[in-house]
Each structure stands twice: as C-alpha cells, then as structure tokens.
Structure 1
C-alpha cells in the first residue's frame, strides 16, 4: 500500500506534464504558405464557377423568353454597356466618384465611432444614455436620413457624408462595445498592475483584446457606409455632385436603359466584394492567425 501511495503523486506529475505539453502543442499553430495551386482551387475557382453558372442561367432564361427583352436583356447587352463606358473613358471616373466618397465617409465614421464605442463600453452612465440610441440608429434604414440631410445641407457632398456617418457610426461603435464586453476582466487587472490605465490601457489592452468584435463592427460599418452612399446618390442626384454609381443607376432607370441598370447593380456589387477581399478579409485572417484560430 505504501508503494502504491508513493507512486500516485508521480503519476499525477506525469499527467500534468503531459497536459502542459499538449497545451503548448495547441498554442504552437504552424503557419504555412498555401501553395498557389491550392489557392486557385479553393479561393479562385469557386467564385468563378458561381459567376459562370449565373451567366449560363441568365442566358438560358433569355433564350427561353421568360419575359420581355427590355426587362431581362441579354448578357451581351450589359457587356456592351460596360464596353461603351470604357471606350468613352468614363468607367473609372464613375466608380472612383463613389468609392472615394465611401472611403472618406467610412474613415470619418471610424474616427467618430471608435472613441464613442470606448466611452459607451467603459462609462456606465454614457452606456445607459446612448446604448439604446445607438442600437436604434443601427436598425434604422439609412435611406430614411436622405430627405433630412438634403433639407439640412442641400444636395451637396456634405449631405452624402452625413448619411454615411449616420449609417456607419452606430455599427462601428456597437461592434467595439460588443468586443470590449467579451474581454476577460483578468486582462484589465493585469494591465492595471503593469500601469496600463486610461488611454494607455485602452490602446494596449482593450482594443487588441476586443479586436475580433471590433473588426466585425468595421466590416458592418463599411457595408452600411456603402449602402448609405448608394441610397443618397440614388435619391439626391445632381450634376454638381459628379456622376457616381448611384446617379448612373438612376439615370439608366430614367432612360429605361435596362442594360445600364443591371450594369450599375453589378458594379456596385463588385466594389463591395472587392473592398471586402482586399481590406477586411486579410485583416480578419491576420487576427485569427495571431490568436491561433486559423492556419491559412
């Protein structure tokens, strides 16, 4: 019996060492460079195949004559509208007019929404006062702000940016609040022990720990920025604002130019997807890899 009792602590120590080794192995997530062939098969081929499938179905519907040509034009007609804009030299100007507005509005929303989210998350009185307001603003369709912005600021770029801010700031602030709410209190106590308090604690402790939720809020904030801008350009169109994607879409509707309408929708969709793939998807992968949640 004495020998058995003596062996038990040794077995416990061995089990603990094995457990620590297993945890260390889990922490050490290997990061490998994905081969180009695998990238093409897993990331490029599926969306290309989906686009081809949509075009094939579209073409079959046109050939079957399910509706009039002016309601569902042939894909070649939309390609012709795109080619016409390219030859006229106006394609990039139309896209850039909207993209530049959307990015500037999003950056302004980022500068306002981030400190606002920190205040709401860390100051109970401000949270009680502004938390429900931010949630309500986030659920309010951005298009509802366009008439008010036009009356307040006129049909100007300022009205466009106002609509973007009112649509994007609540999403960014709420995303940061959600991320901070999920930060373990131990992180904050450890930060205070090392002297990271106030703005320093927010920069070095809160924001890095809340980064996944904050990044989700940024993605949603960009989506709201882009949607808000398109709504504003559709409703408050004016020659003084320049020709953006929303105004191009409205002009095509006024002229009963269905190929132009579909081209405008496709370009708006393309910009939204491109920004996500170029900006937000790499950021998300980097954050996940830094936390050992992804290896690719």
Structure 2
C-alpha cells in the first residue's frame, strides 16, 4: 500500500469516527457539528465566495510578507556570515529576537501602523525573518572551504561567487529554513487576522466564534490545514528550482 493510500484511508477512518461520534454525542450541533454539516458549510462558503475571498486575502498577505522576509533574511544572513563585526553584534540580536513570538509584536504594530493590513504584514514578516536569517547564516557558514578555494582560484568573486558557489551549496539549509519560516509566518498571519480586521481566514474564524457557528470555524480550520500542508510539501520542489 502506497503512502498516499495510507493517508487517504487514515483520513477516511477519522472522518467516520467524527461523524458517528457527533451523531451520538450529547453535545448540541452548534458545539460539536457533524462532518456532514461542516462539509455543507464549507461548500456553501466556497460557492457564495465567503471562504474564497478570505483565502485570496490571506494568501496575498502571506506571499507579500513571506517574500519580504526571505529577502531580508538572506541579506542579513549574508552580512552576518561575511563580516565578523556584524556576526558579533547583529547576529547576537537576531538570535534573541528569534525567541520572541511574532504575535507579541502586534500591540506595537497597531501603534505604529494602525489596525490595518500593514500591521498584519508586519507580523507575518517578523514571523519568518529571524528564522530565515539564522538558517541562511548557518547555510553560508557550512559551505565547504574547498568549494570556495577552487572557485576563487578559477577567478570567481563578488556576485558571481555568491550566485554560483555560496547559494547553491547552501540550498539544503536554506530550504529547511524556508519550511520553518513558512510555518511561523502562516501561524503569525492567522493570529494577526484573528486580532485584526480587514477580512482573511483568521478574521473569518473570529466571525464564526462570535456568532457561535462552530461549523464555520471548523470549515476554516480545514482550509487552513490544507493550504498549509500543500505549501509546505511544495516548498522543497519550488525552492530547489529557484536556487538551481
């Protein structure tokens, strides 16, 4: 049996257990909705555009914030690897900042930018930047010295040296960092949208909670899980193509 079939069978078993448990549970439907009810709400939300619009809004924020975090992280990682002074100062600070949950920055983001998209984008960027910086630094430092000496002997330097030697040799570490940074930024986005405004999947979660519609809440949770898993699994292939 292939891995795909095992996963499908496992999810099918969980679905049956969920449906049976909800039907025989003493909890009311609004507290513990059945799988059938959740799927109906999910289908309705996609058809009428409520969930679809929220997905587009969240993904646009995520792609912008995550892209900015990658650029900043790679740049800072290069500077920390290249210059000893930067490593002893900024490198130490980045390590300290990485231990701070990104949602902690949200009160400051509201004060600086207001309760709008900029605050959420800031949280998403912060959520991925420090992890990306540390992973990039580690990747650059682990490039074999032999590769660097051979490249310099053949006349490679500057941007050519960085593009043809350092980045390709750092790909495994950078990909690992991208995966972790993606997870952090995705969680930061959901937390930011829960507390913020302007639509998105997180805001839709808060709407379902305030209205007592647990079927809507679970529907959005399913969407969040699916999107997060798909992007995580495709990250490895996409990153290898980008850095090849």
Counterpart Cα distance in 2 of 1:280 and 1:222: 9
* Superposition map of 1:102-181 within 5 A: 102-181=62-141
1:195-222: CA deviation from partner (whole Å, max 9, x where unpaired)? 2223221111111111100111111111
User: Which runs of 5 or more residues in structure 2 are unaligned?
Assistant: none
- The answer as to whether partners of 1:155 and 1:236 remain within 8 angstroms in 2 is yes
Counterpart of 2:2 in 1: which secondary structure? helix
- More off after superposition, 121-130 vs 206-215: 121-130
- More off after superposition, 246-255 vs 180-189: 180-189
Deviation for aligned residue 1:285 = 7.5
Deviation for aligned residue 1:280 = 1.0
Counterpart Cα distance in 1 of 2:151 and 2:77: 20
Q: Give the alignment's Cα RMSD to 1 decimal.
A: 2.0
* Superposition map of 1:59-78 within 5 A: 59-65=19-25, 67-78=27-38
> Partner residue of 2:223?
267
Do residues 196 (structure 1) and 156 (structure 2) align?
A: yes
Larger Rg: 1
Deviation for aligned residue 1:284 = 6.7
Counterpart of 2:14 in 1: which secondary structure? helix
Counterpart Cα distance in 2 of 1:66 and 1:140: 41
Change in 2 beyond 3 A, CA 1:123/1:42: farther
Counterpart Cα distance in 2 of 1:233 and 1:282: 29
1:27-83: CA deviation from partner (whole Å, max 9, x where unpaired)? xxxxxxxxxxxxxx5353232222212212212322341644332211111112112
TM superposition score normalised by structure 1:
0.77
1:76-97: CA deviation from partner (whole Å, max 9, x where unpaired)? 1111211221332333211111
Do residues 207 (structure 1) and 167 (structure 2) align?
A: yes
2:42 to 72, 75, 82: 82
TM superposition score normalised by structure 2:
0.92
- The answer as to whether partners of 2:51 and 2:201 remain within 8 angstroms in 1 is no
1:110-133: CA deviation from partner (whole Å, max 9, x where unpaired)? 111111111112211111112222
* Superposition map of 1:90-101 within 5 A: 90-101=50-61
Do residues 229 (structure 1) and 229 (structure 2) align?
A: no
2:204 to 248, 256, 271: 248
- The answer as to whether partners of 1:119 and 1:126 remain within 8 angstroms in 2 is yes
- The answer as to whether partners of 1:146 and 1:231 remain within 8 angstroms in 2 is no
Counterpart Cα distance in 2 of 1:44 and 1:225: 27
> Partner residue of 1:281?
236
Work out the number of aligned pairs and report it: 243
Counterpart Cα distance in 2 of 1:65 and 1:140: 40
